[in-house]
């Protein structure tokens, strides 16, 4: 049998050889990945584990919470409180930040997560995931209580990002800033095994992902891009495109990391005062870091997402992400329409 590399081994070697990974960050990634195993287990039980369905509560975004949104949030909070690696956490499911209780030691990292992405797919047995982003607490925060403003750093300050996808296989896709790797969960052994080394997105693609039902609400540059894709071989693009939309960002991004593609969730006129549907800090930023690390590109239509300076924890953003040449084209269409 070929020698298998576990996540632990991968991280230890990275820490030892490249000196690229501080011990505390290694611990953080191990703990998050362990929490994702627990979530994966709950997800796979479905109705048998009584984890399907909604609660009567709403989150800060005004979305009805699913049972699994709340379970996953608690699993991540509990797993990450005691290790001494974190200063605080933030989540899609919590209005404000979660400080590490005083009974535990504190570390220098900030962890942000979308505990369960793709909630609308939970009850229909379609792939869903967990997204996470890691920042460092600002140096001037040592010795005082962490505040929400300490989290408001641009995405290019992330020191690690990743997601777990709960699909036909459970996988963990990770970057610590030197490329993207993927691990598959070996359920019998209970360990993450390195299966995807150096994940790279091809610059060109014939596959796009967007919620087409919103077409009538889009801005002209988005409409122009999608119209040209739909025109196919005989149109200006001179090739046929294929369309996919899972409605779990994790799954749509996983597809484009595996075989290329472009994913758009643009601003639209349904809620003109919001820049888009997806959240900057725990959806768009980690995915943009992964995609850039895999040679792709990510913009809000105009600028690099990773350079957007957030002004609040739950800020939203327009997302154009994936194969470099297609994202560059959509971005150019936005600039031309200015
Ligand atoms: P969440 O389940 O964390 O609220 O995120 C759902 C997001 C994202 O995963 C997906 O790309 C998008 O919402 C789907 O939106 P539509 O309902 O417009 O398809
Ligand atoms: Mn989400
Ligand atoms: Mn979510």
Single residue among 142, 163, 196 that ends a domain in this structure: 196
In this structure, the answer to whether residues 168 and 216 fall within a common structural domain is no
In this structure, the answer to whether residues 93 and 158 fall within a common structural domain is yes
Q: What domain count does the chain have?
A: 2
Classify residue 158: in a domain, yes or no.
yes
Which ligand minimizes its atom distance to the CA of 116? 3
- Give the tokens for residue 165: 């996808």
Q: Is 179 exposed, middle or buried (0-12, 13-18, 19+ CB in 10 A)?
A: middle
Q: Look up the CATH number of the domain holding residue 324.
A: 3.40.190.80
Evaluate whether 221 touches 334 at the Cβ level (below 8 Å).
yes
DSSP letter for 314, please: T
Query: What is the spatial distance between Cα 23 and Cα 69, in angstroms, rounded to a whole number?
Result: 30
Q: Look up the CATH number of the domain holding residue 161.
A: 3.30.540.10
The finding on whether 130 has its CB within 6 A of some atom of ligand 1 is no
The values of phi and psi at residue 133, to 5°, are -140, 140
**Which pLDDT tens digit goes with each residue over 101-144?**
999 999 999 999 999 999 999 999 999 999 999 999 998 888 88
* Residue from 117, 211, 266, 271 whose mutation best tests the ligand 1 pocket (most atoms within 8 A of CB): 117
Evaluate whether 152 touches 311 at the Cβ level (below 8 Å).
yes
Classify residue 117: in a domain, yes or no.
yes
Evaluate whether 80 touches 111 at the Cβ level (below 8 Å).
yes
The finding on whether 150 has its CB within 6 A of some atom of ligand 1 is no
Classify residue 219: in a domain, yes or no.
yes
In this structure, the answer to whether residues 246 and 280 fall within a common structural domain is yes
* Cα 254 to middle of ligand 1, angstroms: 14
Pairing of strands 170-175, 160-166: antiparallel
In this structure, the answer to whether residues 158 and 297 fall within a common structural domain is no
Q: What percent of the chain has pLDDT over 70?
A: 99
* Cα 226 to middle of ligand 2, angstroms: 23
Q: Is 26 exposed, middle or buried (0-12, 13-18, 19+ CB in 10 A)?
A: buried
| Confidence (pLDDT) at 184 | 98
In this structure, the answer to whether residues 237 and 98 fall within a common structural domain is no
Query: What is the spatial distance between Cα 284 and Cα 299, in angstroms, rounded to a whole number?
Result: 10
168 three-state secondary structure = coil
Q: Using a CB cutoff of 5 Å, list residues around ligand 2, an ion.
A: 114, 117
User: Residue 155 belongs to what domain range?
Assistant: 7-196
| Confidence (pLDDT) at 214 | 98
97 band by pLDDT with thresholds 50, 70 and 90: very high
Single residue among 164, 196, 228 that ends a domain in this structure: 196
Classify residue 141: in a domain, yes or no.
yes
| Confidence (pLDDT) at 1 | 58
DSSP 209-274: E--GGGGGGB-HHHHHHHHHHHHGGGSTT-S--EE---S-HHHHHHHHHHH--EEEE--BTTSTTS
* Cα 250 to middle of ligand 3, angstroms: 10
In this structure, the answer to whether residues 30 and 137 fall within a common structural domain is yes
Classify residue 26: in a domain, yes or no.
yes
Average pLDDT score over residue span 68-77:
97
Classify residue 243: in a domain, yes or no.
yes
In this structure, the answer to whether residues 25 and 149 fall within a common structural domain is yes
Classify residue 2: in a domain, yes or no.
no
**Which pLDDT tens digit goes with each residue over 225-236?**
999 999 999 999
| Confidence (pLDDT) at 143 | 82
In this structure, the answer to whether residues 79 and 222 fall within a common structural domain is no
Classify residue 1: in a domain, yes or no.
no
Single residue among 167, 196, 225 that ends a domain in this structure: 196
Average pLDDT score over residue span 14-28:
89
57 band by pLDDT with thresholds 50, 70 and 90: confident
In this structure, the answer to whether residues 175 and 292 fall within a common structural domain is no
In this structure, is the dihedral angle defined by the CA atoms of residues 245, 214, 321 and 119, taken in order, positive or negative? negative
> Is 59's pLDDT higher than 80?
yes
**Which pLDDT tens digit goes with each residue over 242-256?**
999 999 999 999 999
Output the residue whose Cα is nearest ligand 1's atom 18: 211
In this structure, the answer to whether residues 56 and 167 fall within a common structural domain is yes
Output the residue whose Cα is nearest ligand 1's atom 19: 247
In this structure, the answer to whether residues 169 and 230 fall within a common structural domain is no
In this structure, the answer to whether residues 150 and 221 fall within a common structural domain is no
């Amino acid at each position: 049998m070929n020698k298998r590399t576990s996540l632990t081994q991968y991280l230890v070697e990275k820490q030892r050889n490249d000196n690229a990974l501080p011990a505390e960050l290694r611990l953080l990634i191990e703990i998050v990945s362990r929490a994702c195993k627990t979530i994966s287990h709950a997800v796979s039980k479905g109705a048998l584990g009584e984890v399907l369905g909604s609660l009567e509560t709403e989150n800060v975004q005004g979305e009805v919470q699913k049972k699994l949104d709340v379970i996953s949030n608690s699993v991540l909070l509990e797993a990450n409180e005691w290790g001494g690696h974190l200063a605080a956490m933030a989540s899609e499911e919590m209005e404000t930040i979660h400080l590490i209780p005083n009974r535990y030691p504190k570390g220098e990292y900030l962890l942000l997560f979308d505990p369960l992405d793709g909630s609308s797919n939970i009850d229909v047995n379609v792939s869903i995931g967990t997204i996470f982003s890691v920042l460092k607490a600002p140096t001037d925060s040592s010795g005082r209580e962490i505040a929400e403003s300490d989290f408001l750093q641009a995405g290019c300050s992330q020191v690690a990002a990743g997601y777990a996808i709960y699909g036909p296989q459970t996988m963990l896709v990770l970057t610590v800033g030197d490329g993207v790797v993927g691990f598959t969960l070996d359920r019998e052994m209970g360990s993450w095994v390195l299966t995807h080394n150096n994940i790279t997105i091809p610059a060109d693609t014939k596959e796009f992902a967007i919620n087409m039902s919103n077409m009538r609400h889009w801005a002209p540059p988005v409409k122009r891009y999608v119209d040209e894709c739909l025109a196919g071989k005989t149109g200006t693009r001179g090739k046929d495109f294929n369309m996919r939309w899972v409605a779990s960002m994790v799954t749509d991004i996983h597809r484009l990391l595996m075989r290329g593609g472009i994913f758009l969730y643009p601003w639209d006129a349904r809620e003109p005062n919001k820049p888009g549907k997806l959240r900057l800090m725990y959806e768009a930023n980690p995915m943009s870091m992964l995609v850039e690390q895999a040679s792709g590109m990510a913009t809000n239509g105009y600028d690099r997402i990773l350079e957007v300076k957030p002004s609040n924890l739950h800020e939203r953003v327009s997302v154009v992400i994936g194969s470099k040449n297609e994202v560059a084209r959509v971005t150019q269409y936005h600039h031309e329409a200015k």
